[in-house]
Chains A and B, each alone.
Chain A
Amino acid sequence: MNRETQWEVVIGLETHAQLQTKSKIFSGSSIAFGAEPNMQANAVDIALPGVLPVLNREAVVCAIKFGLAVGATIAPRSVFARKNYFYPDLPKGYQISQFEIPVVQGGGLSTRVGTGDTATEKFVHLTRAHLEEDAGKSLHEDFHGRTGIDLNRAGTPLLEIVTEPDMRSSAEAVAYARALHSLVQWIGICDGNMQEGSFRCDANVSVRRPGEPLGTRREIKNLNSFRFMQQAIDFEVQWQINEINEGRPIRQATVLFDPDTGETRAMRSKEDAHDYRYFPDPDLLPLEIRPEWIAEVGAGLPELPQAMQQRLQSEYGLSAYDAAILTGSRAMADFFSVAVGQTGAASAKLVANWVMGELAARLNR
C-alpha cells in the first residue's frame, strides 16, 4: 500500500521571531541574551501593582519592515489585546498580544523546495503577523524541588507569523521555514538564533484523503531546528495515518517533539484548552500607522531577496538556481556583490561558482 498517494498532508506554520530592538516591547529593559536571572526585569516586567505598558516604536518598525517584505497589508489601525491565563512566568496574568486586528495582514513568501534542477517553486500565503510580548522562563532545576522564575525574557518583542495551511510535506514546511529564517535576518529584524530561541516554530499538522475537507490538526510546539521540524512532522504524519487506519479518530491536541526518541507526544487535548478571554487592552491605544510612516520604513529596507534574484539573472545572466543560492543569506549576497564589483560583471558566473563552491565549502569546514 502506498500511503503517499492515499493521503494528503496539510501543514501550517506559526513562527515566533524575536525582534532585534534595544529594549522590550512595553518597557525600557534591555533584551540582551545571557544576563543573570531577573537582572533585566524592571517594575513593568515583573508587573508590580500600578505599572503600565508603553509600546516600543522600534518593534512596530520591525513589523512594518516584515509586512513590506512579504507584500502584506500594513493595518492602518491594529489593536493590542490581553490573552488571559495564569502561569508563574507570566507576571501580569495576561500576555499582551494582538487578536482580532493584527498589524500585518496577508502577504506571502516564495520558497524553493528541493535542490538543483529538480527544485520547485512554492508560494506560501501568510494569514497574518502580529506583535506580542514573550513570557519569562520557569527553571525547574537547581531549586531543590521548587521552581525558579527568570523574568529577563518577559516582555521581549515577538512577531508571530502565521501561514495559511498551504504546505503539503515536511520538505515544503522546512523550505518555507528556511526562507522565512533567511528573510527576517535579511531585513534585520531578527538575529535568527534558534539555539537561543530567537526563531521558533509551531507546526499544525493534519492529514486527509485528497479532495476531502481538512482533517483534525495537532499542533507540534517549539521546534527549534529545521532537522527536528522535518523529523517531527514526518513522525506526526505517520502517527496520524496509523491512528486513522486503526479506526481511532484524531483529537485536536498540542504535542511536543522529543528529539531523543524522535516521537511526538500530547501535552494537552482540546478539552482542557484555555479560554483566554481576549479583550482589547485598555492600557494601550490602538496602534495607528500612517502611510508616511510606512513609506519612511520602506525607504530604509534593503533590496529584498526576490528582487535581487531577478536582478542577478538579468544583470549577470546567472541561473535561477544560482541566484537563489546566492541570496540564501544576506552575508553571502553581500559578499557576492562586493566581489563581483571588484572583478566586473563579465566574470560574474565565475565569481558565483567560486562563492557557492570554494567559499561555501571552506566556510562549512
Chain B
Amino acid sequence: MSDLFNSSLRELSAALAAKKVSAVELASLFLDRIDRLNPGLNAFIALDRDKTLAQARAADEVRKIGAGVTAISPLCGIPLAHKDIFCTKGWRTSCGSKILENFVSPYDAHVVEKLAAAGMVTLGKLNMDEFAMGSSNETSYFGPVQNPWDVSRVPGGSSGGSAAAIAARLAPAATGTDTGGSIRQPAALCGLTGLKPTYGAVSRYGMIAFASSLDQAGPMAKSAEDCALLLNAMAGFDPRDSTSLERSTEDYARDLEQPLAGLRIGLPKEFFGEGMDADVRAAVEAALAEYRKLGATAIEVALPNSGLSVPAYYVIAPAEASSNLSRFDGVRYGYRAPEYDDLNDMYSKSRAQGFGAEVKRRILIGTYVLSHGYYDAYYLKAQKIRRLIAADFVEAFKHCDVIMGPTSPSVAFAFGAKSADPVQMYLSDIYTISTNLAGLPGMSLPCGFGNNNMPVGLQIIGNWFGEAKMLNVAHQYQKATDWHLRMPSLAGAAQ
C-alpha cells in the first residue's frame, strides 16, 4: 500500500483487481498526499473529498458487482485529476481565470465523461495558465504552480498543474491540453511523459476553447505505457465535435512491445541549431545514442519552414482566441463587474477586470490581425505558412518513421525569468508549435537531467495517426532506461 503512490497504472490496476487495495483507499492515499504537499505546490485549485470518495465507492462497486459479468476497464478505480480547462459537472471549472472563478459546470466534457465511464476517480481540478495561454503557469489567476524538482522554478505550461501534480505523486495521471506545446513542455520540465494526439483524435467537446484549430487534449503520466492506457479511454469519435475524426477505435498499446530494430528516426537540422541549451543538447544526444543501441538509425531531415512556426502560431492562435473568448461577457455566467454605467461599460469593465494581462494581450493581437485591412496580410498569410509547415512534415515522413528533437530549448527556468518578455516566453515552445500547426501527434518523455539537476524532455513527433508507433518508440526507450522512474525528493520525503 505505502508504495502505491509511485506505481504505474498497470500496477494500480492489478492491485485493484487482486483486491489488495480499494478505489476508496487509493483515492484517500492521494487526497492525503494532496493535503500535505499541495500547499507548497499550488497544483490543485479545486478539491472535493466527498465527491471524490463517492466516485471511488462507485468504482469499488463496479469492480465487486461487475466482476465476471461485464468487461471492467483496467482503469476502473484508478484516480486521476483534470486540468481545469475541462468542464466537470458539479465542479468549479475556472480555466485558471478570474472570469470563471465561480463557474460550476452543469455538464461533463467528453474526455471527463469517457474517463468517468471507465471508472476513473476524479481527485480534483488542476491549475493552469489562464485560458491555457502561457508556458510557465505564471498567468494563472490562482497563482503560479511550483516545480516539484525545485520550487523556485516554473513547472512549464499551460498544463503546469497537471505536470506538478504527477511529478509530486499527488496523482498517478492527469489530463492536459496542448495548443502549442502545453502538454509536452510541462511534461519535459517536470520529468514526465505526455502525449498530444493527432488533431481530431480526442473530442474537444467540453474543453474550454483557446484556439479551436490547434487545441487537442491528451494524457500526462509517468510512462508511455500509462499514456497508452489513458489514450485508449480518451480517444474516439464524438458527434458533438465536428472536427472529431470518424475512425474505428484502436488499441494504442498494441505495438508497445515491438522491437525498434530498423526504426528510422528523422532529425530535423532546424531542431538542433542555435537556441538549444548545451545541457538539453547533451541529454537529447545521449537519448539518440540509446536509440541507436536499440537498433534505430538516425536520418537528417529538413523542416525548412519550421522557423516560421512561432510567428504563424502567434497570429492564428490569438485570432481564434479573440473570438472564442467573446462569450465571456458577464451576461449569462461568469464574472460581471459590480458597477457599470451602460452595456458597453459592463462589457469593458467585466472583461478588463476578469481577464489577466496575457489573455488581454492575445485578445488584442487576435482582434488586430482579423481586422479589416489586416486580415490578408496576417491571418491569411499565416494560414499559408501553416500549409507549408504541414507539407514539410509530409516530405520528412517519406524518409523516417518518427521525428525526434528536444521538447524545450531549456530546462525549467526560475519564476520571473521570462515573464517580463513575452517573446522570450513564446520561444519556449519553438520545438513544439509546428506539430500543432500541422495537426500531428507529439510526445515528450524524460531523457536525463540538465543544469541544476532539472529534467530534460525528448520530443517524439509521429506521423498523422501514428500514436501507437510513437508510444512503442517511447516505451522501448523506457524499458532500457530509468529516467521516467526518477522522482523529485519532495515527493519521496512525504512518506
Contact = CB atoms under 8 A, between A and B. Distances in A.
B372 interface: yes
A55 B95 CA distance: 27
Contacts of A282: 211-213, 243, 320
B100 interface: yes
Interface string A27-67: 00000000000000001001111111111000000000000
Interface stretch (B24-32, B71-79, B325-333, B470-478): B325-333
A43 B106 contact: yes
B87 interface: yes
A128 interface: no
A92 interface: yes
A54 B244 CA distance: 11
B100 A52 contact: no
Given A86-B329, A94-B323, A279-B323, A51 B205 contact: yes
Interface stretch (B234-242, B454-462, B484-492): B234-242
B206 A51 contact: yes
Contacts of B239: 54
A316 B240 CA distance: 53
A277 B206 CA distance: 25
B327 A47 contact: yes
Given A55-B242, A88-B331, 19 more contacts: A46-B332, A47-B327, A49-B103, A50-B209, A52-B204, A53-B242, A54-B241, A54-B242, A92-B326, A93-B327, A93-B329, A149-B331, A275-B371, A277-B367, A277-B375, A278-B370, A283-B209, A283-B212, A285-B242
Interface in B168-216: 204-209, 211-213
A91 interface: yes
Contacts of A88: 329, 331, 343
Interface in A70-95: 82, 84, 86, 88, 91-94
21 contacts: A43-B106, A46-B332, A48-B87, A50-B87, A50-B205, A50-B206, A51-B205, A52-B240, A52-B241, A54-B239, A84-B323, A84-B370, A88-B343, A93-B327, A149-B331, A149-B332, A277-B322, A277-B371, A279-B319, A285-B242, A285-B243
Nearest to B375: A279
Contact of B105 (A49, A55, A94, A278): A49
Nearest to A26: B242
Interface residues of B, number: 44
B107 A43 contact: yes
A284 interface: yes
Given A93-B329, A277-B323, A283 B242 contact: yes
List 3 A-B pairs, minimum CB-CB distance, nearest first.
Answer: A93-B326, A282-B213, A277-B370
Interface of B: 86-87, 93, 95, 100, 103, 105-107, 109, 204-209, 211-213, 239-243, 319-320, 322-323, 325-329, 331-333, 343, 347, 367, 370-372, 375, 379
A99 B416 CA distance: 44
B130 to A, nearest CB: 13
Main SS class of interface, B = loop
A279 B370 contact: yes
B328 to A, nearest CB: 8
A43 B93 CA distance: 15
A40 to B, nearest CB: 15
A120 B416 CA distance: 77
Nearest to A54: B242
Contacts of B331: 88, 91, 149
Given A94-B323, A282-B320, A47 B332 contact: yes
A93 B86 CA distance: 21
Nearest to B368: A277
B87 A49 contact: yes
Contact of B207 (A50, A94, A149): A50
Interface in A257-283: 275, 277-279, 282-283
B87 A275 contact: no
Contacts of A47: 327, 332
